Amino acid sequence: MGNILDKLFLPYLSGIGLMPVEKEHNFKRSGYCYCLAPTEGRGYYWIYPIDRWHAIAVCDLVFYRDISFLCEHPASLSLGYYESPLAHLICSRKASRTENLIACMGNESIHRETFQKNMPIRGVSINLLPEFYQEILPTKYSEDFQALPTICTRLDGTGTIPEVEQILKQIRASKPTDHFARMYYEGKVLEIISLVMQWGTNELMVHAAHEIPGKDLEALARVKTHVERYYAEQIPLAHLTRLACMSSSKLTSYFKRAYGLTITEYVQIIRTDRAKRMLLDSAKGVGEIACDVGYQRHASFSEVFKRITGLTPNEFRRRSKL
């Protein structure tokens, strides 16, 4: 029986030309790091196998030419937070955000994939073999964990679990040494799984007991569209309640149930996504961008931006230029 590194990662990495990096040059200080030849592209693919059955992976790659390869999908479960170009490849539905929470099941299939020239391939994921999610989790904790694959099928890039996304960002940014890495990463994986299970259980209970009527879903869609259009303005809740023809308590409750976020959280995510584009595509200062996306105080913008992305605006801009 092979381990997760041999089964899930090594065939794929060799197929796209990634080569192992010497331990002293591994910037993550633990696990295994792979890089492209300088003539082929830039960036890295990093893996930390926690044991034989589950691992963490972080990638940040750009190829200098189109790369086409055969991709094997052994039986496995992956849950990751991916930037939109990679998210669109992974998920058949169009990912709606700059970064997207997506789960996918490997099913012993093989298909051809293509990474286009200069396309950013960025993401962070936890990866589980069937022995882990079918046997170890149910045996060690509860038989309820057998529902994990079913729950994960709902994470298709169209929804969000902010707490899970935050932990994945922490994993992406962290650099524990070998002495502490296993404890750190194993704890993060278990925390993610418990949050996904709780989210799935809550969602099933809510949908079973309280389906949102069609006319109310239409009203919520109007509110969502209005927020997306006027995200940079201060939108009074009273205005949104009039738009939806709902009380404030009903609107806030239904919005959270329908989209998995409060209205405030949704506004913050939209503002952060717009700010990320400005940081990448313009020379504007952070204070000017903060004002453009609706913040009166630079500090408030930086605080929200770091909470959502795991980086300050300046760190995000510097990272994009590496």
DSSP assignment of 129-193 equals -HIIIIIIHHHHT-GGGGGHHHHHTT-BSS---HHHHHHHHHHHH----HHHHHHHHHHHHHHHH
Residues 62 and 186 in one domain: yes
Residues 250 and 269 in one domain: no
Q: Determine what percent of the chain is predicted with pLDDT higher than 70.
A: 94
Residues 9 and 112 in one domain: yes
Q: Which of 191-200, 255-264, 289-298 has the lowest mean pLDDT?
A: 255-264
Residues 269 and 195 in one domain: no
Amino acid letter at 68? S
Residues 173 and 270 in one domain: no
Number of independent structural domains in the chain:
3
Residues 244 and 199 in one domain: no
> Looking at residues 74-78, what average pLDDT do you find?
91
Question: Contact, 29 vs 8, CB < 8 A?
Answer: no
What DSSP element (H or E) covers 58?
Answer: strand 54-63
Q: How does residue 219 score in pLDDT terms, banded at 50, 70 and 90?
A: very high
Q: Determine what percent of the chain is predicted with pLDDT higher than 90.
A: 55
Residues 155 and 62 in one domain: yes
Residues 159 and 64 in one domain: yes
CATH number of the domain where residue 277 is located: 1.10.10.60
pLDDT digits (tens, 9 = 90+) for 154-210: 898 887 898 999 999 999 999 999 899 999 999 999 999 999 998 987 776 556 446
Find the angle CA(92)-CA(93)-CA(99) to the nearest 5 degrees: 105
What was the pLDDT predicted at 237? 95
Residues 45 and 99 in one domain: yes
pLDDT digits (tens, 9 = 90+) for 228-254: 999 999 999 999 999 999 999 999 988
Q: What is the pTM of this model?
A: 0.65
pLDDT digits (tens, 9 = 90+) for 81-124: 998 888 777 775 555 678 889 998 887 777 788 889 999 999 99
Residues 65 and 161 in one domain: yes
CA end-to-end span of the chain:
39
Give the chain's mean pLDDT: 88
Residues 269 and 303 in one domain: yes
CA dist list (Å): 313 to 4, 132, 213, 293, 303: 35, 37, 40, 13, 9
Range of the domain at 282: 265-320
What DSSP element (H or E) covers 261?
Answer: none
Residues 117 and 231 in one domain: no
How far is Cα 196 from Cα 249, in angstroms, rounded to an integer? 26
